[in-house]
Amino acid sequence: MARTVFILGAGASRHTGAPLMNDFLDKAEDLLWEKKLEHNEELFRKVFEAIAKLRGIYAKTNLSMDNIEDVFSIFEMSKTLSKLGDLSPEKIEELYNSIKVFIAVTLEETILFDSGQSNPGYQPTSDYLAFALLLKDLEKIHKKRDSKLRSSIITFNYDLALELSLHNQTINYKYCLSDEVAEQGYPILKLHGSLNWGRCKYCKKTGFNDVFGNNYRYSLGSKIPFQGHPEDIICKNCNKMIGEKEPDIIPPSWNKITTSANIKNVWKKAAEELHEAKEIVVIGYSLPETDLFFKYLFALGTDSSTRIEKFIVCDPDPKVGEKFSKLLGKGITNRFKYVEYDFNHAIGELKVLFNIDDSLARLEAMSTL
Ligand SMILES: [Zn+2]
């Protein structure tokens, strides 16, 4: 049962070097000019050509062709309607798949980790490590109250920096792609998919590669295999290799009809977790206009008799605090707290707001009695 639900957005992964949505295309273009793309160069060129075309088509609207989320959303809509300039439906489908690889490669090239020379294996970033430790502390406090209480994490990020920190701290997690209850660990609900997820060519179900698990072999270097090679995932349903090389990721737009049943399961779980939550903490999620879906999910999820005790929003931009305070119903406003900090500083502040040190000291004192 979820007591504390964390909602993480792009701002949480910013410190890893991952571009934000509005500078994503600039970083991707740098990779092209710096000749870092090898066999993906052609794919990047095609995506940029398509974006240039979109600029002409959407010149009359206020959609921004500089924002990767808008661009990804338009590609998805074009695929649904089979319409994008003079392109054939096959070309549109190809472009839609290309942009997923484009996003995955850009993240893989910009997020660098210490490969841990003396201690083989990738090291998490200090911020995500601090977050993993906060989860552990909260776990001890929750368990003392009620053995069924725990935290859960809803995230909009495609990258795997969070998973790496949990793996490093031997914290189990589960993606909740299916209803199977056998899975143990913290729910990590990736509402927009993940770079290590793939959609089966045959049955259309979503599976994942356990990138940091013992069975996954990756070569050491400064880069992490963020793409998780979806084509190698064994589909649990058909027992065959998934076969699609692009990751199962989706844009934040309203159109989520074409999404797999498994990702829908993740949303259902997210609504359930919000429903039970006593404490909700939002870090680095700016509630973009394009993500109407989240607003509705949030409204449905929090429409319960559970009394929310804390609603904390951490973001260096005060406008984000204002947006959330408007979104919240009157009943919660006096439990709302805006923290004008980035991820790194937010963890320290959260420890204070959750009274972690005192609670742990009390637990310690009780155990020595
Ligand atoms: Zn399958």
Q: Are residues 32 and 7 in the same domain?
A: no
- Domain-embedded: residue 183: yes
Q: Do 41 and 85 have their domain in common? A: yes
Q: Do 106 and 144 share a domain, yes or no?
A: no
Q: How confident is the model at residue 47 (pLDDT cuts 50, 70, 90)?
A: very high
Average pLDDT of the residues in 242-267: 81
Q: What pLDDT is recorded for position 115?
A: 63
C-alpha 72 – ligand 1 centre gap (Å): 25
Across 112-126, 138-152, 307-321, least confident range: 112-126
Q: How far is the CA of 195 from the centre of ligand 1 (A)?
A: 18
What is the tens place of the pLDDT at every residue in 140-186?
A: 999 888 888 899 999 999 999 999 899 889 999 999 998 766 667 89
- Provide the pLDDT for residue 220: 45
Whether residues 282 and 341 fall in one domain: yes
Distance (angstroms) between ligand 1 centre and the Cα of 242 equals 6
Both 150 and 296 in one domain: the answer is: yes
Give the Å distance between the CA of 260 and the centre of ligand 1. 12
Average pLDDT (20-41) is 90
The count of domains in the chain is: 2
Helices 126-145 and 356-368, axial angle in degrees (round to 10)? 50
* Rounded average pLDDT over 84-88: 85
Q: What is the CATH number of the domain that holds 6?
A: 3.40.50.1220
Among 57-61, 134-138, 157-161, 280-284, where is mean pLDDT lowest?
Answer: 57-61
The residue among 83, 110, 137 that closes a domain is 110
**C-alpha 243 – ligand 1 centre gap (Å):** 9
Q: Is residue 326 part of a domain?
A: yes
In angstroms, what is the span from residue 200 Cα to ligand 1's centroid? 5
What separation in Å is there between the alpha carbon of 268 and the centre of ligand 1?
21
Model pLDDT, residue 221: 46
Tell how far the Cα of 23 is from the centroid of ligand 1, in angstroms: 36
88 and 145 inside one domain? no
- How many angstroms is it from 238 CA to the middle of ligand 1? 4
Which of 57, 80, 110 delimits the end of a domain? 110
User: Separation of 237 CA from ligand 1 center, angstroms?
Assistant: 5
pLDDT at 82: 86
Residue 125 in any domain: the answer is yes
| Domain shared by 180 and 307, yes or no | yes
Judge if 175 and 262 occupy the same domain.
yes
For residue range 255-278, what is the model confidence (pLDDT) as tens digits?
Answer: 666 677 888 899 999 999 998 899
Residue 92 in any domain: the answer is yes
CA of 239 to the centre of ligand 1 (A): 7
In a domain, 47, yes or no: yes
Let me know whether 175 and 129 are in one domain.
yes
Residues 64 and 171 in one domain: no
Mean pLDDT of the chain: 85
Is 67 found in the same domain as 11? no
Find the 170 Cα to ligand 1 centroid distance in Å.
29
Question: pLDDT at position 137, please?
Answer: 95
197 vs 60, higher pLDDT: 197
In a domain, 216, yes or no: no
Ligand 1 geometric centre to CA of 199 (Å): 8
Could you read off the pLDDT of 315-351 as tens digits, one per residue? 999 999 999 988 887 777 788 999 999 998 999 999 9
pLDDT recorded at residue 297: 78
Is residue 239 a part of any domain in this protein? no
Give domain status of residue 85, yes or no: yes
> How far apart are the CA of 228 and the centre of ligand 1, in A?
17
Look at residue 22 in the predicted model and tell me its pLDDT.
81
Q: How far is the CA of 311 from the centre of ligand 1 (A)?
A: 40
Between 175 and 85, name the one with better pLDDT. 175
Based on the domain organization, do 190 and 61 belong to the same domain? no
Distance 210 CA to ligand 1 centre (A): 17
Full domain range(s) for residue 309: 2-15+121-194+249-368
Taking the centre of ligand 1 as the mean of its atom positions, its distance from the CA of residue 261, in whole angstroms, is: 12
Q: Is 0.75 topped by the overall pTM?
A: yes
Protein residues placing their CB within 5 Å of the ion ligand 1: 200, 202-203, 235, 237-238
